[in-house]
Amino acid sequence: MNEGTATNFVRKIVAKAEPYVPQVPKPKKKQTLQRRLVWCAICLLVYMVMGQTPLFGATTPEFDFLAFARVIFASQQGTLVELGIGPIVTAGLLMQLLRGSDILKFDFKKPEERAIYQTATKLVTYIVIVVESIVYAIAVYGPGVTSPEIMYILTGQLMAASIIIMFLDELLQKGWGIGSGISLFIMAGVTQQILWSFFSPLPAGDGGTIGIIPYIGQSIMQNNLADTFFRSNQLPSIFGIFLTAGMIMILVYTQGMKIEIPIVSTKYRGFSAVYPIKLMYVSNIPVILATALTANALFMGQMLWANFNPRNDNFFMNFLAQYDPTSPASPIGGLVYYMIPPRGLDIVALDPLRAVFYIIFMIVIVVVFGKLWVELGGLSPKSAAKNLLDADVQIPGFRRSNQPIENLLNKYIPSVTLLGSIILGLIAGVSDVLGVFGSGIGILLMVDILINYYNQLVREKVDVVMPRLGALLGRK
């Protein structure tokens, strides 16, 4: 199936299915900033309530198959948000890759073309929801289900909850709120983990509390403050506070590093601006893809081990994964063992080679995904040059054609892609190994999302104070 045929096939499918696909209507007039913030709060509240509502008929497994993807998917094991935003992210990335690789061609300058693409993405999301719900219910909860009826109910809950999450995300993106539900839910999940590490009053294995702040108070009363600097079993500590703060400052600093290329408008005389090429040009997508790959590798490793190597006596399977038969929560050997971060200094001290290998693994795989994402995600110098020309702008001193601008961008984009990917992989790997609050990938996502929300709020304020300037910025 060639490019044109694939695109036409999608158009035909969308034309037939669109009347039957539920849609969240756009607001008839632009909502005020206060009202949009209220809608964000309502959606977040609904999501958090779902995250505390247990799945009916589900028996929580001994270990969490999606432990390393919980931050990305903003999910909670054993609750209605078991799959979280996973189906939405999966469908969105699939459609983005199809479009970035020119298998699907849509002109986003035309509203009708953009609408077809959005509807097609929603249809793919429905398919992913159905498939993931069935597979997850059978593979994870199936062994503990006593009757087919319970399995149907369990699968139906996963599907219904995922569809509700999809509509919450669409509600915010259609203009009722700010940003997207995906970003909001991820940020809330990471923030919740960080606050839990700071303030949780629940007892921990070392005789104190999980939260570092109550533990500091308890240690002061017992005149034993030295124990709060480093704690075993991955418990929050004062070292963790400084490490988390340091990583956040590094991320904020690197997010602001960019190369600025001057541009002028060919449509609005006198308008000039800059085209920023950030050091973190690839954003956090490569880290998300790398973490998702790690989670899938762990899941497959556990499945293969349970079926073909439960006693670790298969010579060839031992190269892939080995687990403790009495407590198969995490690998004890094999390739998968080195793909999982040893969190905490006490665990790193037991096997420093594993920590080094994991950090190197994260750097290499993020660089690979970074290069792929730039090419397939429409971020290459060729695509960026085309986007600039399509936006009716040009670079002073260069002819208004693709090749000169592409040559200029080619001096910067490959370099920042490589350097940015190395920095992202290094930060994610080191943060996970040393045990930052909220995990390394969680901190990366939270900082990126907060910066994006800040920029959106600034644009909203500009639009309120200076509507004409806001409209111009919106067109860029």
Taking only the tens of pLDDT, the chain with its 476 residues reads 455 677 788 888 888 888 888 888 888 888 888 888 899 999 999 999 998 899 888 777 766 666 667 777 888 888 899 888 888 888 887 887 777 677 777 776 677 887 888 888 899 999 999 998 998 888 778 777 778 888 899 999 999 999 999 999 999 888 888 888 888 888 888 888 888 888 888 887 767 788 888 888 888 888 877 778 888 777 888 888 898 899 889 888 888 888 888 877 776 666 677 778 888 888 777 887 777 777 767 777 777 777 787 788 887 788 888 877 776 667 788 888 888 888 878 788 888 898 999 899 989 988 988 888 887 767 788 888 887 777 777 777 777 777 888 888 888 888 988 998 999 889 888 888 888 888 888 888 888 888 888 877 777 765 554 444 344 444 44
Q: With beta carbons less than 8 A apart as the criterion, state whether 100 and 377 touch.
A: yes
78: region left, alpha or beta (phi > 0 left; psi from -120 to 50 alpha):
left
Q: For the beta carbon of residue 1, count every other beta carbon within 10 angstroms.
A: 9
Residue 270 pLDDT: 65
Domains of the chain and any CATH numbers = 1-178 (1.10.3370.10), 243-448 (1.10.3370.10)
Residue 370 CA to residue 173 CA, distance in Å, equals 26
Q: Which two tokens stand for residue 135?
A: 């597979």
Quick one: tokens of 7? 């695109």
- What would the two tokens of residue 440 be? 């390394």
Structure tokens that stand for 412 in this block: 């910067």
Q: Which two tokens stand for residue 48?
A: 């958090």
The Cα–Cα gap between 164 and 174 comes to 15
Q: How far, in Å, CA of 401 to CA of 202, rounded?
A: 63
Nearest Cα residue to 377 out of 100, 114, 103: 100
Question: CB atoms < 10 A from the CB of 378, how many?
Answer: 18
Q: Do the beta carbons of residue 319 and residue 407 sit within 8 Å?
A: no
Structure tokens at 113: 């073309």
Burial of 180 (0-12, 13-18, 19+ CB in 10 A): buried
Q: What is the pLDDT of residue 268?
A: 66
Q: List the one residue out of 280, 447, 448 whose CA is nearest residue 370.
A: 280
DSSP helix/strand/coil, 273: strand
State the pLDDT at residue 163.
94
Lookup: tokens for 389 = 């020309």
Closest of 259, 271, 264 to residue 414, by C-alpha: 259
pTM: 0.78
DSSP 228: G
